[in-house]
Amino acid sequence: MNPFGLTFHHLGLAVRRPRDATQFLGGLGYRLGEPVFDPEQNVNLIMCTHVGSMPDVEIIYPAAGKSPVDALVAGRPEGIVYHICYVSADLPATLAALDAAGVRAVCKVPPVPAALFAGRRVSFYDIVGMGLVEIIEDAGQTAL
């Protein structure tokens, strides 16, 4: 395990509409999950998994009304990979380890239950020099 206690989970792809992304990923052999509405973020989500060596991809697209991906898809209507996601068994320990290593993690969205991940809490951080990182809390993972 790395010193931050993080395990890679998926890439987050924001799109205006999912059709083209699902067609492309399906053609690559991804299994497409059922669309899930997340009321906390007011977005629709589709988790795409691959049995081979390709990383999982979460397709995020706006629901009716204002959503956090509106500006992303307005500026990049063809879609954009905008976050990387990791799992942590102990979020406070992960954040402390990042801080101890001199890695600045600025909280953008504090932990909230996520519909796509069976209610496990997710949070988002701007990692200075890296970009937006989502962290899924999962006490079933190996700790630091």
Which pair of structure tokens corresponds to residue 132? 């937006």
**Model's pTM, two decimal places?**
0.92
Identify the pLDDT of residue 141.
55
Q: Where are the domains of the chain?
A: 6-137
Contact call for residues 89 and 135 (beta carbons, < 8 A): no
Local confidence pLDDT in tens for the 144 residues of the chain: 799 999 999 999 999 999 999 999 999 999 999 999 999 889 999 999 998 889 999 999 999 999 999 999 999 989 999 999 999 999 999 999 999 999 999 999 999 999 999 999 999 999 999 999 999 999 765 444
Spatial distance between the Cα atoms of 24 and 143, rounded to a whole number of angstroms:
36
Identify the pLDDT of residue 140.
66
CATH of 6-137, one of 3.30.505.10, 1.20.140.10, 3.40.1830.10, 3.10.180.10: 3.10.180.10
The one-letter code for the residue type at 100 is A
